[in-house]
């Protein structure tokens, strides 16, 4: 990877090297406490979290999925999902930014060459951030591509326009997904400062406002041959690429649900008034409110348990990627993702249901939890996860192999 490494100049110190799952969780909690302090202000004023992302890089968390044979911790996927949930409870925009980072590293683990793995895993361990240039607008369906990778001497050129480029604003490396001459999907890893890359901060969604999910324009960008991964191969056989990406999304939704629930409990305890017919003096003593709080708490706990179970299923499938084990992981992650999606929306709705009209004041910015839940859960439709799970159990139809599963 010498030709690639010469293009990338590091300016930050090497990241901390995390030694255990417990240390990773403790670091995540420490970062979350810091990130939560200004999360509402960042959302209101759309202040992009550059300093927070530098702290995340230095913490060592971005290297925790690096395989042990490449000197990494190779953390359990259930712990990875919980770390993401911890960060998302503090600020789900920040938690979404490394989702693509970990997806890219899993794609490298599955289909990267040994040279690519050695180089890019070392960069992840050093604290480098990987962002994506994946999704496009204007195609007939989601998941289709107009971006092309064409031969140019010993390397390639890539041209195209990407949207929802989450993480690119903060990235050291950009993973460009494009079709080659054979119409196969490729992933090219290029330094962010490569000539011909234009990044536009035009994300204007009402939720996940500081995730930096804007536009990336690729104008005749040169790509070294040794920086190209044949990404399509990861979906021609049973792999865990999609499951790893999806469990991280589920972790983000779980964190949003936890944040909304915590706000609900605090507001009901300290500000909400009981309903006139309740016969109690405190909203926290209203039996219907108590029952609803219990209901949300139980569903959050159930979603967390499903997430942990799904992570363990992925662990098994990574070690032994048979068709059966990968299907088990796929179905478990789909189940977890449906539950976390639903509880994120339900918990953020319940916040206003129980806290009352005063909770809608703009200055409180409590609506950010609903906005974040509604925006992030649109990433891929859970209605299709129900269909896929049902079709497998009823008709024996194996789940399709793609990045949404």
Q: How confident is the model at residue 7 (pLDDT cuts 50, 70, 90)?
A: very low
Determine what percent of the chain is predicted with pLDDT higher than 90: 89
Task: Identify which of 289, 279, 257, 258 has the alpha carbon closest to the alpha carbon of residue 356.
Answer: 289
Q: DSSP assignment of 262-298, as one string?
A: HHHHHHHHHT----TTS--SSGGG-HHHHHHHHHHHH
* Residue-level pLDDT at 11: 67
- Look up the pTM and report it: 0.95
**Which element (helix H / strand E) includes 150?**
strand 148-152
Q: What is the pLDDT of residues 198-241, one digit of tens each?
A: 999 999 999 999 999 999 999 999 999 999 999 999 999 999 99
The yes-or-no answer to whether 21-129 and 237-395 have a common fold is no
How many CB atoms lie under 10 A from the CB of residue 13?
10
Of the candidates 231, 230, 270, the one whose C-alpha atom is nearest the C-alpha of residue 356 is 270
Cβ neighbors of 239 (< 8 A, separation 6 or more) are: 110, 321, 326, 401
- The CA distance from 325 to 242, in Å, is 14
Mean pLDDT of 148-167: 95
**Class of domain 237-395 (CATH, top level):** mainly alpha
Question: Which CATH architecture is the domain 133-234 placed in?
Answer: Beta Barrel (2.40)
Residue 2: pLDDT over 90:
no
Helix (H) or strand (E) holding 200: strand 197-200
Domain edges within the chain? 21-129, 133-234, 237-395
Residue range 21-129 forms a domain whose CATH class is mainly alpha
Backbone angles phi, psi at 155, to 5 degrees: -125, -145
Query: Is the model's pLDDT at 10 over the cut of 60?
Result: no
- Token code pair at residue 375: 């925006």
pLDDT at 278 over 90: no
- Tokens representing residue 131 in the block: 């962002």
């Amino acid at each position: 990877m010498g030709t690639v490494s010469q293009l990338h100049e590091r300016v930050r110190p090497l990241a901390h090297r995390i030694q255990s799952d417990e240390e990773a969780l403790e670091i995540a909690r420490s970062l979350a406490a810091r990130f939560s302090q200004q999360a509402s202000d960042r959302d209101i004023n759309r202040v992009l979290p550059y300093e927070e992302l530098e702290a995340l890089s230095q913490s060592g968390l971005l290297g925790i999925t690096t395989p042990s044979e490449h000197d990494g911790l190779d953390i359990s996927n259930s712990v990875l999902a919980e770390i993401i949930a911890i960060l998302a409870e503090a600020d789900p925009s920040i938690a979404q930014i490394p989702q693509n980072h970990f997806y890219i590293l899993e794609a490298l683990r599955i289909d990267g060459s040994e040279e690519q793995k050695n180089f890019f895993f070392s960069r992840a361990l050093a604290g480098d951030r990987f962002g994506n240039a994946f999704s496009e607008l204007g195609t007939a369906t989601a998941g289709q591509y107009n971006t092309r990778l064409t031969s140019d001497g010993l390397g390639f050129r890539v041209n195209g326009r990407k949207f929802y480029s989450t993480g690119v604003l903060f990235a050291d490396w950009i993973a460009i997904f494009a079709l080659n001459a054979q119409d196969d999907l490729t992933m090219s890893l290029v330094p962010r400062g490569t000539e011909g890359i234009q990044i536009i901060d035009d994300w204007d969604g009402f939720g996940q406002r500081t995730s930096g999910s804007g536009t990336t324009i690729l104008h005749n960008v040169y790509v070294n041959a040794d920086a190209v991964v044949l990404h399509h191969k990861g979906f021609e056989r049973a792999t865990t690429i999609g499951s790893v990406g999806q469990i991280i999304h589920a972790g983000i939704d779980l964190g949003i649900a936890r944040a909304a629930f915590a706000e609900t409990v605090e507001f009901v305890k300290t500000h909400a008034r009981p309903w006139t017919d309740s016969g109690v003096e405190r909203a926290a003593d209203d039996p219907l409110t108590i029952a609803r709080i219990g209901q949300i708490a139980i569903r959050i706990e159930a979603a967390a348990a499903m997430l942990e179970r799904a992570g363990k299923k992925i662990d098994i499938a990574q070690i032994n990627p048979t068709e059966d084990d990968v299907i088990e992981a796929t179905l478990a992650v789909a189940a977890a993702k449906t539950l976390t999606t639903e509880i994120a929306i339900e918990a953020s709705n319940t916040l206003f249901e129980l806290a009352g009209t005063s909770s809608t004041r703009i200055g409180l910015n409590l609506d950010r939890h609903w906005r974040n839940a509604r925006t992030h859960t649109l990433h891929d439709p859970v209605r299709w996860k129900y269909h896929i799970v049902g079709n497998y159990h009823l008709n024996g139809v194996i789940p399709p192999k793609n990045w949404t599963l």
